[in-house]
Structure 1
Amino acid sequence: MITPFFKLEQTEEHVVVTIKAPNANIRDAEIDFCEKTFIFSAAPYFLRLYLPGFVGIPENSSSDYEADSGTFVIKVPKQNKGEEFKDLEMLSELLKPQRPSGQSNVEELEEEIEGVLADQKLQKEEESPNLEEIKKFGYGFGWYKMGIMKKFGEELEDLFAIRNPDEVEITKRYDIMVKNDEKSFDSEHYLADLFDVPDELTQIIKSSLPSNIFTFNDDDRLILKDLKVIKLKRFTAEENKQIMYSLLDILFSYLLDLRINDWEPNVQSDVMVAKISPSISNFVRFSTLKDSITSAIRRTLCYCLYRNFDLCKKELEDLDVILEKGRSCLLHCLLALRKRFYNSSHDFIYLFNQLFIDDYCIWIQIVDEKVLEQVREELKEIRKSLQKSDISELDLDYIETEAKMIMMKVENGEYDSDDN
């Protein structure tokens, strides 16, 4: 059976279910609902939804059918008039049977490589790594995947800074990343973007975040209806925060790429996002949000086309905006990024989805709202206090002071290149 395209909206009295089933025979269509379950059946389509609230009796419902588009619009009465049904855009949750009421809503995702990218599946591991190995060497979403990267070897050298994570402990990856960033930092490039700001960079920083670019839409619904609902296991509250910290560095990179490309990704955008994101490029795990944010900023100043601290601060503002918009906006960004990786011209970019994004698309729909709220407040505090000295590994203040002294000497005719 085929899961049809569907979306849910609500009024004070009804949940409005829109279903597109162009190949269905209307005579075969059956619609039923009871308590929190809604069922639509019209061969070859079948849809079962698990709603967040109780619905009334079918006798109080109504439905319309648009023959030209094969669209059903069903108005399902709420049992309690005025009740808000939360998270109706979290389609993966609506398709999944509800947990018993006593079970925690904060759960972790277990690896299930079977995804919607059937032609790009990773082969199943012949022997699963043990739990101790995963705790020590895991990577990808939640740091619980192993054995994937070693299959590809040199083919992935241009995508990942740490190319053999199966052999590099999680606790050592951050230091390796920082050392590589320090070696890659080009002070002349940084100073040029500071003291001789290109006109296009000025416009990039001034550009306003489009109001409609982060709106959950029908493209998102099409992806979600086919996204596999993967197995779940429980994460601790601290682990969920660490997962969120990594999500923010990924979204920082995503927003940065959008901003510098005038809100339209280009053919190099997928590689750019992966390069800037510490979590994707180096498989690191952060214990604080500040480490995540400063790492993303440092990598921007090392690898981005524009290496400007004000640009980085603008990205934190963008990040704050999408956090304020809430869960559906975060999900939309993840789905847009997933689509970009899926359509990439690079042979192995799809791995980013299987290592990170697919799982994040499910996790963001179920993670406790408290985690989102806590991280949102942490980001606000970081934005208030952030200084260049927080990117301590690059010595930005020292480099700028030295450059200003040289410029003063040049202006006064005192500078001799042999002095430098």
Structure 2
Amino acid sequence: MLTPKFKVLQDDKHLSVHIFAPYARISDAEINIDGESFTFYSSPYYLRLTFSGRLVDSELEKHTAKFDAAVGAFIIVCEKETPGQHFANLDMLTTLLAPHGATGVNKPMIEVVGDEKDGELLDEQDEDFDWMYEQTLPEENIVTGGHKYGFANNTTGVFTALQNELKGVVDVSDPDNKSASQRREERITHELRVFDEDHYLADYFEVDTAQQCVEFIPEFYSITSDEVELSDQDKEDMMKLPRKEHLLDKGAQSIVYLGLVDILYSWCYNHRVTLGENCVESAWNVAKLSSTLSWFDSFTHLKDVAVGSVRRSVTFPLIRNWLLSQEVLKDTAQILSLGRKKVLQCLLEIQRFFNSSEPRYLLNQLYITDYCVWIQRIKDNKLISLADSLKKLKISKDDICLDLEDLEAAAHLVLEEEEENALAHGENINNIVTDFAGLTVIENGAALGANDNEDGLKKGAAINPREGLAQLSDSDSSSSESDSEDDSDEDSDSSDSSDDSSDDDSDRDGSSSDSSELDSDDDTLSESDEE
């Protein structure tokens, strides 16, 4: 038989059950209503629901049923036995599917004893928790049960047979032979050892990426608990959850609640750094940041949860920023304040992360699936109380024992020294430029001072030295020509004299030629005389 998809709506007098069974035999449909129990059968579908209130029996034929062919759904409208009564948990599909009296893992099938009100147990869950009070872990019987982990510490021996899967799932080694206190001590030691100061400082000063994540406003800040809606995918995943109920004592409940905060913190971090759009690293982000999932840790104090989560958020992920970690704490409190439906939505998303990221599906079997079942039966006021305590909690940089304040102060000193050195280097360059401005330029054997022609220097500063000298020469020539007409005449005279000198040179060349000829004649005459 197949369990069909369904949803349940209500008003003051009626309860409406919508059953999506597109391949059902309509003529064979059978409906049976008996007090709190509702049963539907139409081959190949079978559905049994248990409500928190009583309905009018089907024998009285006060219910109506029809088949909507457009959507392929049966719509059955039932009358409430007590008009105006509110039926709780209609969104918690797994709770509706669970038969009355179902129990948790590794326990015999027994009926849950206790008064009920609106379908919620009035037992030890109604006791108030002091989330700031240091609890004690339940003692482990290592002779008969071994060291335990998993949801409510009810599992052991898993990794004895799955050693090959261990490294791909968790950071703790050989968890079956280590107690909760040993696992915690190793976790803290590991976090302090692998903390990367350079990576942290890089994200501390290069704030562009981190700032974008810090300024991001998740959508769950703009809704109320009544406005939380489970998607069709969420409802489909809820149908696949086991039909059971967990019976927990007070110590186990405290561990489960605090572990929930730790897991939700990792979800909120991933949601913020991906800006609400999950990526292929989302499963790694959630598994790595959660001490519960990566080290099988069991918390006994809310501050320990917050300290561990923040320390891991500045040690392992890609973006390691203190302000970002603080914002994620606020996000976690906001999720808790929205109640179990929003928390369930987050847990179902984590379950999908791990199912698509082998071998992390083992974390679903150890923790997430049980959390998805358990969260549907708890009361919202417990989550709201936990959220209020988390909002009041203040975590300082000293609490996480990484010396972040000293590290940041030392980095600032180094930057200040570098800035001072850069400033001094800039002053030296300015002095060199000033010295160059005072140099004397030699042109054609004449000295030209820096102050003789400021315009010339300014022009020459933008070009090469030879072009500058040429400009200075042209500038001096033009200025000297405009001084006086006498200077102009003198220049023309000097020009004439240069012409004359050139003529004289040519005459000298001529005379030189003549003299050589005369010498030649003289030699001839002397020879004749000798004869």
With the shorter chain as reference, the TM-score category is 0.7 to 0.9
Partner of 2:229: 215
Residue from 77, 80, 83 that aligns with 2:82: 80
Residue from 351, 358, 383 that aligns with 2:362: 351
For residues 384 and 228 of structure 2, the distance between their equivalents in structure 1, rounded to whole angstroms, comes to 19
Contact kept in structure 2, 1:92 and 1:225, CA below 8 Å: yes
1:248 alignment partner, SS class: helix
2:219 alignment partner, SS class: coil
Contact kept in structure 2, 1:276 and 1:299, CA below 8 Å: yes
Any residues of structure 2 matched to 1:7-406 within 5 Å, and which?
Answer: 7-58=7-58, 59-99=61-101, 102=114, 131-132=141-142, 137-197=147-207, 199-211=208-220, 215-230=229-244, 232=246, 234-344=247-357, 346=358, 348-369=359-380, 371-382=382-393, 385-391=394-400, 393-406=401-414
Code of the residue aligned with 1:225 in structure 2: it is: M
Contact kept in structure 2, 1:240 and 1:371, CA below 8 Å: no
- How much does 1:158 deviate? 3.8
- How much does 1:217 deviate? 2.0
Code of the residue aligned with 2:243 in structure 1: it is: V
1:263 alignment partner, SS class: coil
TM-score (norm 1): 0.86
What are the ranges of 5 or more consecutive residues in structure 1 without an aligned counterpart? 109-129, 416-420
- How much does 1:68 deviate? 3.5
Contact kept in structure 1, 2:148 and 2:176, CA below 8 Å: yes
- How much does 1:18 deviate? 1.1
Identity of aligned residues (%): 32
1:52 alignment partner, SS class: strand
Code of the residue aligned with 1:390 in structure 2: it is: D
The Cα offsets for residues 58-87 of structure 1, whole Å up to 9 and x where unpaired, read as: 433333311143211222222222222112
For residues 282 and 23 of structure 2, the distance between their equivalents in structure 1, rounded to whole angstroms, comes to 37
Partner of 2:502: none
- How much does 1:405 deviate? 2.4
The Cα offsets for residues 148-206 of structure 1, whole Å up to 9 and x where unpaired, read as: 11222244314311021001111111111111001111112112212221x23212211
Which range is displaced more, 97-106 or 80-89?
A: 97-106
Compared with structure 1, are the counterparts of its residues 133 and 310 closer, same or farther at alpha carbon in structure 2 (3 Å cutoff)?
A: farther
Structure 2 residue 419 is matched with structure 1 residue 411: yes
Code of the residue aligned with 2:319 in structure 1: it is: Y
Contact kept in structure 1, 2:152 and 2:256, CA below 8 Å: yes
Contact kept in structure 1, 2:4 and 2:46, CA below 8 Å: yes
For residues 107 and 278 of structure 1, the distance between their equivalents in structure 2, rounded to whole angstroms, comes to 27
What are the ranges of 5 or more consecutive residues in structure 2 without an aligned counterpart? 102-111, 116-120, 126-139, 424-531
Code of the residue aligned with 1:411 in structure 2: it is: E
- How much does 1:96 deviate? 1.8
Q: Which structure is larger by alpha-carbon Rg, 1 or 2? A: 2
Across the two proteins, how many residue pairs are aligned to each other? Answer: 387
For residues 76 and 248 of structure 2, the distance between their equivalents in structure 1, rounded to whole angstroms, comes to 37
For residues 144 and 283 of structure 2, the distance between their equivalents in structure 1, rounded to whole angstroms, comes to 27
Root-mean-square deviation over aligned CA pairs: 2.4
The Cα offsets for residues 309-352 of structure 1, whole Å up to 9 and x where unpaired, read as: 111111112112211111111111111111121122x3x11111
Code of the residue aligned with 1:292 in structure 2: it is: V
Which protein has greater RCO, CA pairs closer than 8 Å, 6+ apart? 1
Partner of 1:126: none
Contact kept in structure 2, 1:251 and 1:319, CA below 8 Å: yes
- How much does 1:131 deviate? 4.7
